[in-house]
Structure 1
Amino acid sequence: MRSLHAKTLFITGASRGIGKAIALRAAHDGANVVVAAKTDQPHPRLPGTIHATAAEIEAAGGRALPLCVDVRDEEAVGVAVTRAAETFGGIDIVVNNASAISLTDTPATALKRYDLMMDINVRGTFAVTRACLPWLRRADNPHILTLSPPPSLDSAWYGPHVAYTLSKMGMSLCVLGWAEEFREEGIAANALWPCTLIATAALGMVGEAIPPGACRTPAIVAEAAWAILTRPARSCTGTFFLDEAVLREEGVDDFTPYAVEPGGRLWPDLFVGTPGGKAKAGSV
């Protein structure tokens, strides 16, 4: 039976949203989850802390280790990975979920914001994966899963927000490279991206008026992540998965339970729907 029981997952950005949903799905199997995120104390605008998420993981049947980690800090990442491995006896899975977003054009993107996206999205993904590698090499079914889109050179995706698109495509190119680099070692490297907009706190901070009915819940991404992470690593690598396609492969054909408002008209996510991020209302 496929399960994440007793597996140790190191999940960045796990205090809320998609990262938290993946953590809770793994907890239902009895997994060990490292909640690696920056929010140690309540945030004035964003819900959730590493401690609150850890409590929910424990209540769901898993074991949790909340660690306050800024993925831009190499030393902090190294300390967190060491603590995780010492606490749970190793690390089986890395989920690169932490991400910064600013859907701004070039004149409106301050270099401070550009650096933030590059440092968290690309550098942070690289730093966390690199630090976890010694433990992944010892794991029975090691996986690296990065929340990033299928790579594309379609200029229409870049024009509206060059900096953000560069940072997300940078994450995807890491996946592309790692799949080849670690193929012989049997470490899987894959990416996962939602077909539709997902209702998260980060989406609310983008500043666009997005009706709730246009979104699905993070649970659909979590279920897709579970399906990927329970597959054999040696035969499941180098793929840029979309959540709905993964679940269809698993035999799911009713996606109504994942809708924020069942029957609502869903908007495709960035890099999936209409190029340039101008998603139009409509089923995906």
Structure 2
Amino acid sequence: MPTRALAGKTIVMSGGSRGIGQAIALRAAADGANIVLIAKTTEPHPGLTGTIHTAAAAIEAAGGRALAFPGDIRSDTDIADAVEAAIETFGGIDICVNNASVLNLASTLELDPKRYDLMQDVNVRGTFQLSRACLPHLLKADNPHVLSLSPPLNLTPRWLGAHPAYTLAKFGMTIATLGVAAEFAGGGVAANCLWPRTLIATDAVSNLMGGTEAVPRARSPKIMADAAHAIFSSESWTRTGATLIDEDVLRVGGTVDFSIYSDPAHEGDLELDLFVD
């Protein structure tokens, strides 16, 4: 893999204040990339780690340049303004990362319409609209990528019936991304999805998917960051329209030891993520 492959590249990311998104941003920043974060968390939250401003500071400390754009991915105006700010500040866009996502595992009868709409608006519509806003600039880039943090389309009854609304929202992200890949196949823009094989130690896991007891059975967000970096470092024409698993991406790159991403005491107890059989 080229050294500092992302130096000078500009990434526009939804979310990124914490967790996997922040890890991806920091890995790119270590190369000297420019990161534009579109996120809502501007003030500390008791149940969440970090804000858009602490994330931007960490990006700068890691060696990158950051532009923190407080905004709502559900707002077309905020998306347009953030993309315009990215162009004005950095001169172009090379990578679009659809990271923002709402997680709600409620069953059909337990989920109220407002929370259903929130998932659809952030996950599906946000992915489509941010990709759409970035595409005119990606088409001018040397090695453009769209990457959505969404799962393979696992249509087994187990996942279709577990939490249908969330499944629909995450699969919608995937379909929107695969649509970009198909529509712009001749334009040189790679559009792929990336998903972890195991749980990842984020606020979502500790707050919503098993509590603090689940964290030891999860891997560090760094595995997703390294996989994303490998994707961004590859030539866009070599891979598009794929639903990728972090571990598989890294195996192709030569990684054989994944223990560095987890608690050695629980390496044999890792829990598979949603949608992974």
Q: TM-score interval w.r.t. the shorter chain?
A: over 0.9
Q: Deviations over 1:156-175 (max 9, x none)?
A: 20212010000000011112
Contiguous gaps of at least 5 residues in structure 2: none
Paired residues, number: 273
The whole-number CA distance in structure 1 between the counterparts of 2:107 and 2:266 is 34
Residue type matched to 1:197 in 2?
L
Q: Deviations over 1:62-104 (max 9, x none)?
A: 0000111210001111001100111000110000000001111
Q: Does 1:272 align with 2:254?
A: no
Distance 1:232 1:174, change over 3 A: same
The whole-number CA distance in structure 2 between the counterparts of 1:138 and 1:169 is 28
Q: Is the 8 A contact 2:205 2:214 kept in 1?
A: no
Q: Does 1:140 align with 2:142?
A: yes
Structure 2 counterpart of 1:119: 121
* Aligned mate of 1:87, from 70, 80, 89: 89
3-state SS of 1:159 partner: helix
Residue type matched to 1:230 in 2?
S
* Aligned mate of 2:184, from 165, 172, 182: 182
Structure 2 counterpart of 1:27: 29
CA drift of 1:219 comes to 0.2
CA drift of 1:235 comes to 1.5
CA drift of 1:262 comes to 4.3
The whole-number CA distance in structure 2 between the counterparts of 1:11 and 1:199 is 20
Query: Counting helix residues as a fraction of each chain, which structure ranks higher?
Result: 2
Q: Does 1:223 align with 2:226?
A: yes
The whole-number CA distance in structure 2 between the counterparts of 1:86 and 1:38 is 21
Q: Deviations over 1:191-227 (max 9, x none)?
A: 0000000010122221534432210010000000000
Structure 2 counterpart of 1:246: 249
**What are the residue-to-residue correspondences of 1:71-220 with 2, within 5 Å?**
71-206=73-208, 208-209=210-211, 210-220=213-223
The whole-number CA distance in structure 1 between the counterparts of 2:92 and 2:161 is 42
**What are the residue-to-residue correspondences of 1:40-51 with 2, within 5 Å?**
40-51=42-53
The whole-number CA distance in structure 2 between the counterparts of 1:263 and 1:45 is 25
Structure 2 counterpart of 1:276: none
CA drift of 1:263 comes to 3.7
The whole-number CA distance in structure 2 between the counterparts of 1:260 and 1:178 is 37
The whole-number CA distance in structure 2 between the counterparts of 1:224 and 1:192 is 8
Residue type matched to 1:259 in 2?
S
The whole-number CA distance in structure 1 between the counterparts of 2:25 and 2:210 is 28
The whole-number CA distance in structure 2 between the counterparts of 1:262 and 1:238 is 37
Distance 1:207 1:263, change over 3 A: closer
TM-score w.r.t. structure 1 length?
Answer: 0.94
Residue type matched to 1:111 in 2?
P
Q: Identity of aligned pairs, percent?
A: 53
3-state SS of 2:35 partner: strand
* Aligned mate of 2:56, from 51, 54, 57: 54
CA drift of 1:128 comes to 0.5
Contiguous gaps of at least 5 residues in structure 1: 274-284
